[in-house]
Structure 1
Amino acid sequence: MTPRARLRRSAAGNVSVRTLLIHGVAGSPAVWDGFVARASDQLELWDVELPWAGAGDRQWALGDIPDTIDSVLRSLPERAGGQPPVDLIIAHSFGASALLELLAGSPRPHADRVVLVAPLTCPEPFDWSEISRRVEEFPLLLEEGIGRRARRLSPSMRRELAERLRDLIGPLPWLRTYEYGLRSALLDTTRLTMPILVLTGSADRVTAAVDVERLAGRLPDARFELLVGSGHFPMIDREREFTDAVNEFATSREEVTELRPARA
């Protein structure tokens, strides 16, 4: 079944910025709860539970993943005047990398602005040690995500649940996830002329901040922002700073042309 976007929260007042929230692998729309609570009332917020939510159905890994996101965008109510389906897309981790591939490969406009949160990237240098590191750290990433959503669980329980979730997800979805990060280095980014905010955490164990900044530097109109002390879930780790940055970006009419300093 094709996932469909759902209205999470309407905008207030005369100004409405239609916004779609896209989660990463083993995530869910719940990762955005804190952001939704703090987001500007100008944002009309939509979310979607994608096939890669939780342990999910492993069959999603065999499909056309950017096409899945395109289908979600097509499920939104049409807008007059040939406008893109949304004003803003905010995508996290694997969702951000899949979105990048969709935007780079399609001449059709999908959004006026984009926020990429901790996108997966191609590391430099890329060698055998990098692959083994990613395999070993995958359950640690899952444990981090579980801990962010279930803070009352003991460390041993989080670790056990993470290992179970890793086994439920399986190696094929993990490989597809890793593949999209590597392919980001090969994308033709010349079509990505919309303003893009790239946010990542300084303590992200999945993708190094320097690699994310390198990706931002390849985008024609991007702003890179580092949230100091945050891990792979800056919308949770640094909820207020993350939301402030996105609110400012989403409601500003100015073009984005420079890199911004880190938020301490």
Structure 2
Amino acid sequence: MSESTNLREPHAQLVMAHGWLLRGRIWQPLQQQLEPQWSCWAPDLPGFGSAQRPPGLSPTLPAYGRWLAQEAKQRAAGGPLVLLGHSLGGSVVLHAAALLGDQLQGIVLLGCGGGVYQRRPFARLRQVGCALSWFQGDRRAARGLLLNSTQRRAVAGLPKLVSQLAMPSLWVGGGNDQVMQPVYVRHLAGYAPDHQIEVLPGAGHLPMRDQPVALAEVLIPWLQRLASPRS
């Protein structure tokens, strides 16, 4: 056996998908806790921030999942990957996961849960989506992703996506999250074959921005276990 085969593989490339109406820089406080040990890439999703939506990219979760998988592969250049998704970005990650094969070591979902259709709350969300005159990005992308993610079929399909995960998953909820309460995080995580659930006391819906140190203290040991040799 050559010496090179005894060397531990490099840390996985971390690819971070932001939530609805946000942009990649929301991850910067967490990135500062993880770099340089881990290489982090937090792009603006197409139609958000400064990123244009490519022609032909429909504003649906499956389409954005394919986009994320393709971009992540290029970024990792054949190396190992870990995807992190926040809120709606977590749903994008779930759609991307099945497309990355053994290259994907694990996924992290922040403020991501559900799998239970809630007619009135989703109706209120869709009303918000119809009033985006202030939004500077691609309004069609923003509205389309919101409508797609709150359809009964899409919501009902989340547990099946999660049950088919072939890699470890870490689910993080905020103890004070009023957007995605921990009970819904636990519900969806329970479908995953190999999962860990953590709830950050006092955290709201944006722990990567508001509690990056506490989040990193949960995330780093989990990432280290992913990278450790398996017997």
Shorter-normalised TM range: 0.7 to 0.9
* TM-score computed with the length of structure 1 as normaliser: 0.67
Q: Deviations over 1:173-216 (max 9, x none)?
A: 320233455531342623x2322110121232332211111111
Judging changes above 3 Å, is the alpha-carbon distance between structure 1 residues 239 and 136 closer, same or farther for their aligned structure 2 residues?
Answer: farther
Contact persistence 1:18–1:87 (CA under 8 A): yes
Matching of residue 65 in structure 1 with residue 64 in structure 2? yes
Judging changes above 3 Å, is the alpha-carbon distance between structure 1 residues 134 and 205 closer, same or farther for their aligned structure 2 residues?
Answer: farther
Contact persistence 2:109–2:170 (CA under 8 A): yes
The residue number in structure 1 matching 2:31 is 36
Judging changes above 3 Å, is the alpha-carbon distance between structure 1 residues 64 and 206 closer, same or farther for their aligned structure 2 residues?
Answer: same
Structure 1 Cα separation of the partners of residues 129 and 159 of structure 2: 21
Matching of residue 202 in structure 1 with residue 200 in structure 2? no
Amino acid at match of 1:175: L
Task: Structure 2 unaligned segments of length 5 or more: list them.
Answer: 1-8
1:25 shift after superposition: 2.3
Q: Deviations over 1:157-187 (max 9, x none)?
A: xxx9x86229973543320233455531342
* Secondary structure, aligned partner of 2:149: helix
Structure 1 Cα separation of the partners of residues 26 and 115 of structure 2: 24
Percent identical pairs in the alignment equals 19
Map residues 61-210 of structure 1 onto 2, 5 A cutoff. 61=59, 64-79=63-78, 85-103=79-97, 105-106=98-99, 108-123=101-116, 126-135=117-126, 164-165=134-135, 169=139, 171-179=143-151, 180-187=154-161, 189-190=163-164, 192-210=165-183
Matching of residue 249 in structure 1 with residue 222 in structure 2? yes
Q: Deviations over 1:134-164 (max 9, x none)?
A: 346779xxxxxxxxxxxxxxxxxxxx9x862
* Secondary structure, aligned partner of 1:37: helix
Structure 1 Cα separation of the partners of residues 44 and 95 of structure 2: 19
The residue number in structure 2 matching 1:23 is 18
Contact persistence 2:24–2:42 (CA under 8 A): yes
* Secondary structure, aligned partner of 1:252: helix
Contact persistence 1:40–1:247 (CA under 8 A): no
Contact persistence 1:17–1:42 (CA under 8 A): no
* Secondary structure, aligned partner of 1:76: helix
* Secondary structure, aligned partner of 1:21: strand
Q: Deviations over 1:239-258 (max 9, x none)?
A: 21011111121123599xxx
Matching of residue 229 in structure 1 with residue 183 in structure 2? no
Structure 1 Cα separation of the partners of residues 110 and 162 of structure 2: 20
1:26 shift after superposition: 1.8
Contact persistence 2:111–2:172 (CA under 8 A): yes
Contact persistence 1:230–1:238 (CA under 8 A): yes
1:68 shift after superposition: 0.8
Amino acid at match of 1:242: L
1:114 shift after superposition: 1.5
Amino acid at match of 1:118: G
Contact persistence 1:34–1:235 (CA under 8 A): yes
Structure 1 Cα separation of the partners of residues 51 and 15 of structure 2: 21
Give the paired residue count. Answer: 212
Contact persistence 1:26–1:56 (CA under 8 A): no
Structure 1 Cα separation of the partners of residues 145 and 113 of structure 2: 14
Q: Deviations over 1:53-94 (max 9, x none)?
A: 249767641572211112112322533xxxxx4332222111
Judging changes above 3 Å, is the alpha-carbon distance between structure 1 residues 181 and 202 closer, same or farther for their aligned structure 2 residues?
Answer: farther
Task: Structure 1 unaligned segments of length 5 or more: list them.
Answer: 1-13, 80-84, 140-159, 256-264
